[in-house]
Amino acid sequence: MDMEKFFFPDSIAVFGISDSATNLGKEIIGNLNRFGFRGKVYGVGRVKKEVGGRRVYAQLGDVPEVPDLAVVLVPAAAVADALDQCGRKGVRRVIIETGGFSESGEDRKELEDEILRIARHWDITFMGPNCIGITNMENGICLPFVPFTPDEMVKGRNSFISQSGGLIHEIIRRCALENVGLSKLTSIGNKLMIDENDVAEFHINDPGTEVIGIYLESISDGRRLMSLAGTTAKPIVVLKGNTNPTSRQIASFHTTALLGDDAVTSAAFKQAGIHRVESMEEMVECFKMFSLPPLKGPNLVLGSRSGGQSVLLADEAYRYGFNLPALPQGFFERIKERAKAGVIRSTNPVDLGDVFDDLFYLEVMEMALQEKGIDGVVFFYDYPLDNPLVDEMINGARRLCEVHQKPVVFCMVPHRDSWVRLRQEGHTFPFFGRPEQAFSALRRSLDHFARISANERKTSFGRRGEKAVAERKGSSHVASTAEALSLIESYGLPVVEYKLVRTRAEGVEAAERMGYPVALKRAEPFILHKTEAGAVRLNIGNDRELEEAFETMAAHVYLIQKMAPEGVETIIGGKRDSEFGPVLMFGLGGIFVEVLKDVTMRVVPIDEKLAMEMIEEIHGAPVLKGTRGRPPADVESLSQVLVSVSRLLADHAEIKSLDINPLRVFERGAGCLALDVKIEYA
């Protein structure tokens, strides 16, 4: 999708101009004037005069040229006519800021259907409805219908996409408080045609954007978002709202968003290298950290003037998985030359409480950055209000970052007046108010660099294999056990020996052929929980016990299965998520999954590397590695099963959910066996 003219139009038409003192269309023209947009702007409405120095026309057809972009802010019932005017004039890019569509009720969906029909007829691409449009700091585009002022924004290289117009205001205010620069802001509203993926793809290719922030209440195409993340080295940071039934109700009236599975969202983002944050504050912290050189390794030097603060810094560093290597004695000898009382300790964190030369702290940071194997510095700097050297400290830290291409992270709690002065004077070098903010953001920097360096990006999560349609008997949406076992067998999964039988005699014959002990199960698809329904008997040792089991278990069809040897019981699940498509789940069986919820997930397809990551991620992984004298389990065979199930889920769009429970894993070299499987079709 060509988004260029949405962000870089040479001419704009604004629908909805009137003489009313509260007219919002005039605010759009006012914003364009304040932000210095140099292109042509035409008003369309009931005012036969100029507004803000821009000519207003009664109809778009009267405008002397074909505008590159139209902004529509008229009553919902009049949007279709405005869109039709755009089509007849030849305008092919439109932003519909009007609300009152499906977010206001299902009865308004007909209005959306109508504007979609008109847009497709005229080959129009539109953004919205129910949005506040685009702001582009590069060229003075500012299209919200509320007044914005350029003085409250810092030009930079962070772009933000939001499903909520209100959060556009919040990101502006939060970034202004921190002097964090912004490049482009996009409000996508109901996402009826253009969604977050279309805008994100534009930003990926936009030279003016280095970091992409997104706020979403629903995900239009999660697999496409993951694929896009795999095509770029630019960080993508997402705040996902609408994660519980209460917020779902609010969001349904706000942007028609539907509730997805939040655990799947987190797993998918992690898999794709998308940085999920929990607040707008954390979003801005990421913007700040990604403005510094990347952290290329986990080894840090920490410094502070306070012993207590050094302790807290070390705690946070270890919490986020960083190392604090020992420093050579020569490093500390240099520091001791400046100490007053001679109580400097040779430790990392470096305690500088006995040194009272602020600019020497910069020398200490540079010494640390020059040490072999040190990847970055975190320094907690506490200074008095009237310290005239703080500007030199900030500029010195910026220089160290540029020279050494390693991050120097400042944690500061300045006096209120000093903080305001720093911001008013335009200092854009980031500092962090709390150590936990700094280390959390540093962890993201490290993880992002590691992913990019290892080239672990996928170009697409949308590929599908050759589809082998599963046979389904009758009208049931649940496969019988035999059908389900047959399907997973066709993908190479090892399945315990089994036989479908209808009579006692057939059952005895099958059991004798495969050898006792065996299990007997009812095989009707409507019985989902066999144990609770009394539909399973295990460890049947002979013909007599089998016949007794038949007498107590009336069914039309039965399943005879060979009893499998002891092993580690695992569970493999799959589902078709509304936002990310087929998803694979893995965990240990029994209490691990039922009580502790110890599972891990990936969006399919996966390879053996990702399968091994899934196995190692669960808290119960030591059970598979062998504990208390038990031999290690065959995790290599298990990983191959996970890859095969991934392929099955990717191939079969008709599968709504799949549950292999248990998959019994034997000791290394002995493989594994699927003992039971349930498949539900959509």
pLDDT tens digits along 192-242 = 999 999 999 999 999 999 999 999 999 999 999 999 999 999 999 999 998
pLDDT bin (cut points 50, 70, 90) of residue 257 is very low
pLDDT bin (cut points 50, 70, 90) of residue 278 is very high
Flag whether pLDDT at 624 surpasses 90: yes
pLDDT bin (cut points 50, 70, 90) of residue 463 is very low
68: helix, coil or strand?
A: coil
* Share of residues in the chain with pLDDT > 70 (%): 92
In words, the CATH class of domain 153-291 is alpha beta
Instruction: Tell me 384's DSSP state.
Output: -
- Give the per-residue pLDDT at 252: 46
Flag whether pLDDT at 256 surpasses 50: no
Q: Which helix (H) or strand (E) holds 424?
A: helix 416-424
Phi/psi of residue 120, each to 5°?
A: -70, -35
Question: Strand (E) positions, 85-235?
Answer: 93-96, 125-127, 133-136, 141-142, 155-162, 182-187, 211-216
* pTM listed for this prediction: 0.91
Flag whether pLDDT at 247 surpasses 60: no
- Give the per-residue pLDDT at 139: 97
| Mean pLDDT, range 291-318, rounded to an integer | 95
- Give the per-residue pLDDT at 533: 65
Beta-bridge mates of residue 302: 378
| Mean pLDDT, range 385-414, rounded to an integer | 86
How many angstroms from the chain centroid is the CA of residue 671? 35
Flag whether pLDDT at 470 surpasses 50: no
Flag whether pLDDT at 311 surpasses 80: yes
pLDDT bin (cut points 50, 70, 90) of residue 248 is low
Give the count of alpha carbons within 13 A of 348, CB side only: 23
Q: Which range, of 88-97, 290-299, 551-560, 581-590, averages the lowest pLDDT?
A: 551-560
Flag whether pLDDT at 666 surpasses 90: yes
pLDDT bin (cut points 50, 70, 90) of residue 285 is very high
- Give the per-residue pLDDT at 458: 58
Residue 353 has a CB neighbour count (10 Å cut-off) of: 18
- Give the per-residue pLDDT at 496: 94
Q: Are 479 and 498 in contact (CB under 8 A)?
A: no
Which are the contacts of 531, defined by CB distance < 8 A and separation ≥ 6?
none
Q: Are 602 and 267 in contact (CB under 8 A)?
A: yes
For every residue of 647-665, DSSP letters joined together read HHHHH-TTEEEEEEEEEEE
Which are the contacts of 446, defined by CB distance < 8 A and separation ≥ 6?
294, 295, 296, 297, 298
Q: Which range, of 11-25, 193-207, 349-363, averages the lowest pLDDT?
A: 349-363
Residue 633 CA to residue 493 CA, distance in Å, equals 17
pLDDT tens digits along 90-107 = 999 999 999 988 887 777
| Mean pLDDT, range 322-340, rounded to an integer | 91
Higher pLDDT, 465 or 132: 132
- Give the per-residue pLDDT at 383: 66
495: helix, coil or strand?
A: strand
For the segment(s) 1-130, the CATH number from 3.40.30.10, 3.40.50.720, 3.90.400.10, 3.30.379.10 is: 3.40.50.720
Token representation of residue 589: 């069986």
End-to-end alpha-carbon separation of the chain, Å? 31
Residue 116 vs residues 4, 68, 108: alpha-carbon distances, Å = 21, 20, 13
Phi/psi of residue 68, each to 5°?
A: -70, -30
- Give the per-residue pLDDT at 145: 97
Instruction: Give the length of the chain.
Output: 682
- Give the per-residue pLDDT at 381: 83
What fold does the segment set 497-562 form as a domain?
Dna Ligase; domain 1 (3.30.1490)
Domain positions in the chain are 1-130, 153-291, 300-453, 497-562, 568-681
- Give the per-residue pLDDT at 146: 95
pLDDT bin (cut points 50, 70, 90) of residue 342 is low
Q: Which of 119, 123, 153 is nearest to 136 (CA)?
A: 153
Residue 208 CA to residue 210 CA, distance in Å, equals 7
Superfamily name with CATH number, domain 300-453: Succinyl-CoA synthetase domains (3.40.50.261)
Residue 638 CA to residue 665 CA, distance in Å, equals 7
Q: Which of 71, 52, 57, 88 is nearest to 5 (CA)?
A: 71
- Give the per-residue pLDDT at 424: 76
Q: Which range, of 21-30, 134-143, 173-182, 525-534, averages the lowest pLDDT?
A: 525-534
Domain 153-291 and domain 568-681, same fold? Reply is no
77: helix, coil or strand?
A: helix
- Give the per-residue pLDDT at 245: 60
| Mean pLDDT, range 570-588, rounded to an integer | 93
Question: Strand (E) positions, 515-588?
Answer: 518-522, 536-540, 558-562, 568-577, 581-588
Q: Which of 9, 44, 51 is nearest to 30 (CA)?
A: 51
Token representation of residue 442: 């540093």
Q: Which helix (H) or strand (E) holds 350?
A: strand 350-351
Mean pLDDT of the chain: 90
Residue 668 CA to residue 262 CA, distance in Å, equals 35
Flag whether pLDDT at 144 surpasses 80: yes
pLDDT tens digits along 507-566 = 999 999 999 999 999 887 766 666 666 788 999 999 999 999 998 888 888 999 999 999
Residue 505 has a CB neighbour count (10 Å cut-off) of: 11
63: helix, coil or strand?
A: coil
- Give the per-residue pLDDT at 243: 80
For the segment(s) 568-681, the CATH number from 3.40.50.2020, 3.50.7.10, 3.30.470.20, 3.90.320.10 is: 3.30.470.20
pLDDT bin (cut points 50, 70, 90) of residue 255 is very low
β 54-57/40-45 pair status: parallel
- Give the per-residue pLDDT at 254: 36
Q: Are 365 and 377 in contact (CB under 8 A)?
A: yes
Flag whether pLDDT at 589 surpasses 90: no
Q: Which of 106, 50, 47, 113 is nearest to 79 (CA)?
A: 113
